[in-house]
Amino acid sequence: MLRRQGMDSDVIVVGAGPVGLLLAAELHLAGARAVILERRDTPSQDTRARGIGVLATEALTRRGLGPQLADVHRRGTQDLARDHGSTLGHFANIHKLVPDPERHGTNIWQPELERLLTEHALQLGVRILHGHDVVGIEPDADGVTVRTADGELRAPYVVGCDGGRSTVRTLAGFGFPGSPALLRTIAARTRFVGDVPPSGRYAAGTFLHRGDMAGVIEPAAAAADGPVTRAELAAAIRRVTGADVVVDDLHDARRFSDHAGQADTYRRGRVLLAGDAAHVHSPSGGQGLNLGLLDATNLGWKLAAVVRGDAPEGLLDTYTRERHPAGAAVLRNAMAQSALLAPGVHVDALREIIAELMDIPAANRYFTELLSAVNLRYDLPYPAEDPAGRYCADLELVDDGGAVSRLHEHALSGHWLLLLTPPMRALAACATELVDVIPVTNTDPLLIRPDGVVAWARGDRASLGTALSWWRSEVGTHFPASRVTMGH
């Protein structure tokens, strides 16, 4: 394994949120050392996000976190029903989306997700250094020096996972075009004294109130500084509903806008971006964590292969090539949701039509898959049949002896996987240096990347050879020896 002299780590990850934690874990799993620099002294207890989507859930399940996710999902679903009055998904607060019973996300508060991912990363050997605020980044031909108030670290690569106001993005000079905010939202757990206006859409905005949760959506205004106050929430409710309310208690309060932005590229030389550092958008539909965690799984195995010396740096260009369009698609539907949340009678009419469309099963499925991204397909650089380029579901697999397993049980190592039926078993010889071969009898032959993306499907020896040749040219051939898994 190639190691550069004078380096403190193979990769410095800036930011110990969910994306940074998962990226560092993926790097370690693939044989690259990672250290995380986090400006906070302790993990955040901010409840910003309350769930991850289908593809992120499947990604974490492939790394052995499925039982923990299932446990917290039950509690998170109860919280969702309490706060929203529904467990259905929503598009622009139109709660009609029926989830796929076979592929589901996880209702989990962000602090709990961070705790699970922290434990996962630490078990793999990731170092997490809290209380280190990055103040400088100096790339050169051999690596990147990262300066903090306490000193400096050096590594061949740096990845900014440090949020929507990313210091790494700014210091490294990434472009970040976008659109200004249309709306702003204030949300909090609160207690009112006296009468409270009914929830619903008003001429000036939307007021939401259920249990101890309250929120106001109104046209964007100059951003306020500091914590949300009771007076600020009361004033927002007055602007929207015209009613004076008395806010007696306030906690878990936050404000956010639907400003959208996306880095022009996710890589500038030895500096890369992932998660909110690469893209920001409205939280409508709860897509942010799903998007960022998939950035991490896409980048992790690629960056590790380059660090190990098993792949040329050109492999890293496929990260932007694949993930930038995925981010742009989320920004597009998030902005569409903002348009549907804006006040006005014309928007009210449009919302009624969209709500009626959601009653049509095919349309409901379209909106559900739009938010879950299960229909995302990467453009592969060689001819490949569908579902190549898509994320593979957690398939049930049956081996020659009839033993049953799930795909995620074979993915814990982070290796490539090649599922082969009896007529295709001879193709295993093509992959001895690249993948773990899994003999199956009940599914199509598939080649699956470490991030769960199908790289080849149902083809012949020539098409598999084409796929393997391309990835070998990009990824190199120094992979673990093939391991034939015969099932449970």
60-108 residue pLDDT tens: 999 999 999 999 988 877 777 676 677 788 899 999 999 888 898 998 9
Asked if pLDDT for residue 480 goes beyond 50, the answer is no
pLDDT band at 434 (very low <50, low <70, confident <90, very high): low
CA distances from residue 427 to 48, 431, 432, 458, 475 in whole angstroms, order as listed: 47, 7, 10, 12, 20
Average pLDDT over the chain, rounded to an integer: 90
pLDDT digits (tens, 9 = 90+) for 30-72: 999 999 999 998 877 777 777 899 999 999 999 999 999 999 9
Q: Which residues contact 146 (CB under 8 A, 6 or more apart)?
A: 12, 14, 37, 134, 136, 137, 138, 152, 153, 154, 155, 158
Distances from the Cα of 275 to the Cα of 135, 183, 404, angstroms: 20, 22, 36
| Least reliable range by pLDDT among 257-266, 278-287, 451-460 | 278-287
Kindly give the residue spans of alpha helices, DSSP state H, lying in 360-415.
361-372
What CATH topology corresponds to 11-177+261-372? Answer: FAD/NAD(P)-binding domain (3.50.50)
Could you identify the residue written with the tokens 């899994």?
438
Nearest to 448 by CA among 402, 398, 394, 404: 394
Give me the half-sphere count of Cα atoms (radius 13 Å) on the Cβ side of residue 388.
19
Rounded mean pLDDT of 141-152?
Answer: 93
Cβ neighbourhood burial of 6 (10 Å; 0-12, 13-18, 19+):
exposed
Comparing CA positions, the residue from 1, 99, 43 lying closest to residue 304 is 1
| pTM, two decimal places | 0.92
451 three-class SS: coil
Give the contacts of 25 (CB within 8 A, at least 6 positions apart): 63, 117, 120, 121, 124, 126, 300
Spell out the alpha helix ranges (H) of 155-229. Answer: 167-172
Give one DSSP letter per residue of 234-267, joined into a string: HHHHHHHH----EEEEEEEEEEEE--EEE-S-SE
Q: What is the mean pLDDT of residues 158-170?
A: 97
Beta bridge partners of 157: 11
In this prediction, residues 207-225 reach a mean pLDDT of 87
- pLDDT(486) > 50: no
**Once rounded to an integer, what is the mean pLDDT over residues 261-271?**
97
Q: In terms of C-beta density within 10 A (0-12 exposed, 13-18 middle, 19 or more buried), how is residue 479 classed?
A: buried
* Tokens (6 digits) for 255: 């404000």
**Cβ contacts of 32 within 8 Å, gap of 6 or more:** 10, 11, 303, 304, 307, 308
Indicate the pLDDT class of residue 3, thresholds 50, 70 and 90: very low
Angle between the N-to-C axes of helices 317-341 and 288-308, in degrees from 0 to 180, rounded to the nearest 10:
170
pLDDT above 70 (res 475)? no
Q: What dihedral angle (degrees, nearest 10) is formed by the CA atoms of 424, 429, 432, 437?
A: 20
> What three-state secondary structure class fits 133?
coil
What CATH number is given for 396-475 in this structure?
Answer: 3.40.30.120
pLDDT of 332 strictly over 80: yes
Q: Which parts of 85-219 fold into alpha helices (H)? A: 110-123, 167-172
In angstroms, the CA 233 to CA 215 distance is 8
Q: What DSSP designation does 431 have?
A: G
Answer yes or no: are the C-beta atoms of 404 and 398 closer than 8 Å: yes
Least confident of 223-237, 336-350, 435-449: 223-237
| Placement of tokens 């032959």 in the chain | 445
Q: Which fold has domain 183-257?
A: Alpha-Beta Plaits (3.30.70)
At residue 257, φ and ψ (nearest 5 deg) are: -120, 180
Tell me the two tokens of residue 407. Answer: 């795909």
| pLDDT level of residue 5 (50, 70, 90 thresholds) | low
Domain boundaries, the chain: 11-177+261-372, 183-257, 396-475
Pairing mode of beta strands 157-160, 271-273: parallel
